[in-house]
């Protein structure tokens, strides 16, 4: 007894859907620790910014470098873990580095072009940019990123408008804490 064309097509469709869900789940599992790492970096960076604003640049540069390196290491480790599939880590390091450099360059260039006069604008801007990037990532493939990005974007605007005097502490708690919670949510996917 043979398999009909319809049965074969249905079986192939099931396999494709299962593979897609498996890749999505693995992506969330890999992304969770990365988001938690950035959450911790945001907590440290924004607390330092709130306590000693004049140290902001000196604090954020090394924290961002640590975050980029940690993200690449965590992604490579996750992609090369057993069951990740052959070649899953190929090109990930340089793609992540180029993506991080592109976002950093965009932030630096827009600051230089628009030169914000409000001292709280540079505090809020990273939350808005990260929120936007996460929403775009979520729209293309991983919907949980869209929810995390939208929450980050809205929470940043709320802090900027309603709590400007304590914005760095707001961003540490809501931005950094939100990234940590988002990372936990990703890991449970």
Q: Residue ranges per domain, the chain?
A: 15-82+89-187
Q: What is the pTM assigned to this prediction? A: 0.81
CA–CA separation, 16 and 35 (whole Å): 28
List Cβ<8 Å contacts ≥24 apart for 153-159: 153/127, 153/128, 155/127, 156/124, 156/127, 156/128, 156/131, 157/124, 157/128, 159/124, 159/127
Q: How far is CA 11 from the centre of its chain?
A: 35
Tokens of 27: 């992506």
In the chain the first and final C-alpha atoms are separated, in Å, by: 40
Residue-level pLDDT at 157: 98
How far, CA to CA in Å, does 103 sit from each of 16, 47, 125? 33, 22, 12
What is the mean pLDDT of the segment spanning 56-74? 90
Residues near 168 by beta carbon (within 8 Å), at least 6 away in sequence: 46, 47, 49, 50, 53, 123
Residue-level pLDDT at 101: 81
pLDDT tens for each residue of 35-63: 999 999 999 999 999 999 999 889 999 99
Q: Are 34 and 182 in contact (CB under 8 A)?
A: no
Tokens of 144: 């949980």
The HSE-up count of residue 23 (CA atoms within 13 Å, CB side) is 11
pLDDT band at 89 (very low <50, low <70, confident <90, very high): very low
Give the DSSP H or E segment for 134. Answer: helix 121-140
Is a pLDDT exceeding 50 seen at residue 87? no
pLDDT tens for each residue of 124-151: 999 999 999 999 988 987 889 999 999 9
């Amino acid at each position: 007894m043979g398999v009909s064309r319809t049965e074969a097509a249905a079986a192939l469709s099931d396999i494709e859907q299962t593979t897609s869900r498996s890749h999505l789940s693995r992506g969330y599992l890999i992304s969770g620790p990365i988001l938690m790492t950035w959450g911790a970096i945001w907590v440290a960076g924004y607390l330092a910014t709130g306590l000693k604003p004049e140290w902001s640049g000196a604090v954020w540069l090394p924290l961002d470098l640590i975050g980029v390196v940690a993200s690449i290491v965590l992604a490579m480790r996750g992609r090369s873990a057993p069951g990740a599939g052959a070649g899953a880590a190929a090109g990930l390091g340089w793609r992540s580095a180029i993506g991080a450099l592109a976002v950093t360059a965009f932030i630096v260039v827009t600051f230089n072009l628009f030169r914000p006069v409000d001292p709280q604008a540079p505090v809020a801007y990273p939350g808005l940019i990260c929120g936007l990037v996460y929403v775009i990532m979520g729209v293309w493939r991983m919907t949980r990123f869209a929810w995390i990005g939208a929450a980050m974007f809205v929470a940043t605007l709320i802090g900027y408008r309603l709590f400007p005097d304590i914005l760095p502490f707001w961003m540490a708690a809501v931005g950094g804490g939100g990234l940590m919670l988002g990372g936990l949510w990703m890991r449970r996917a």
